[in-house]
Amino acid sequence: MNAAKRAEIFRRLREDNPNPETELAYSTPFELLIAVILSAQATDVGVNKATAKLYPVANTPEAIYALGVEGLSEYIKTIGLYNSKAKNVIEACRILVEKHGSQVPDNREDLEALPGVGRKTANVVLNTAFRQPAMAVDTHIFRVANRTNIAPGKNVLEVERQLLKFVPKEYLLDAHHWLILHGRYVCKARKPQCGSCRIEDLCEYKHKTSDD
């Protein structure tokens, strides 16, 4: 895929959705961090239902830490792997209070040192909360990048590096959101909706489908 094609793909995605946002509900960087930790192997809808009950009660590192693992578990038990997530969140809150003045770090090293925070979670926080050009590659983005040939790669890290290299700079900050939404609602895993896709003519996928 050449640079002109990539630029047109992102121009169209921006045209259709000028201000893309995460579907996780949050109002502060800390709320976003916790939501992303909870979202591993869970849906955004499921996480939002849990945090809608949690955040009115506790939405700071001190307040969530005060709940303890058992207290937090009661709020997030509808989410998969809630026991291990509760332990990670409580420990992360302790570290934020003790080492970072209860503020979410705006750098990868400190973020990835928090329990439950891997590269993908750090990238989401850096990009969405702090508006840094980071690319959080989940299953949707990995699929879209490879299927369209925008940024093919054999693993998540390879795709991340390819996207950072090939996505035109003017689109880089929001590319993560456009790609994830495209993968979630159009370029679906089992059957992509090629017939109603805005970038079908630019996509290099060889097994395009109809919407019938």
CATH at residue 15:
1.10.1670.10
Give me the mean pLDDT over the 29-38 stretch: 96
* 198 assigned to some structural domain: yes
Residues 121 and 187 in one domain: no
Residues 116 and 157 in one domain: no
The predicted structure's pLDDT at residue 41: 86
Exposed/middle/buried for 5, CB within 10 Å: 0-12, 13-18, 19+?
A: middle
Tokens of 104: 């979410």
pLDDT at 115 over 90: yes
pLDDT tens column, 54-104 = 999 999 999 999 999 999 999 999 998 899 999 999 999 999 999 999 999
- Domain hosting 147: range is 3-20+135-202
Total structural domains within the chain: 2
Which are the catalytic amino acids? Answer: 120, 138
* 171 assigned to some structural domain: yes
Residues 36 and 118 in one domain: yes
* 195 assigned to some structural domain: yes
Residues 55 and 126 in one domain: yes
> Measured between alpha carbons, how far is residue 136 from residues 13, 70, 197 in Å?
18, 30, 23
The predicted structure's pLDDT at residue 212: 59
* HSE, side-chain direction, 13 A CA sphere, residue 52: 9
Domain boundary among 107, 130, 153: 130
Exposed/middle/buried for 163, CB within 10 Å: 0-12, 13-18, 19+?
A: buried
Domain boundary among 74, 95, 130: 130
Distance CA 211, CA 194 (A): 7
Tokens of 120: 């993908």
Give the other-Cβ count within 10 Å of 106's Cβ: 14
> Measured between alpha carbons, how far is residue 71 from residues 61, 64, 68, 75 in Å?
14, 9, 5, 7
For the chain, what is the mean pLDDT?
Answer: 94
The predicted structure's pLDDT at residue 209: 85
pLDDT tens column, 175-206 = 999 999 999 999 999 999 999 999 999 999 99
Give the annotated binding-site residues for [4Fe-4S] cluster: 187, 194, 197, 203
Residues 63 and 37 in one domain: yes
Residues 107 and 51 in one domain: yes
Helices 172-185 + 3-16 axis angle, to 10:
70
Distance CA 145, CA 163 (A): 8
pTM of the predicted model as reported, rounded to 2 decimal places: 0.88
Domain boundary among 89, 105, 130: 130
pLDDT tens column, 118-130 = 999 999 999 999 9
**What's the CATH code of the domain at 84?**
1.10.340.30
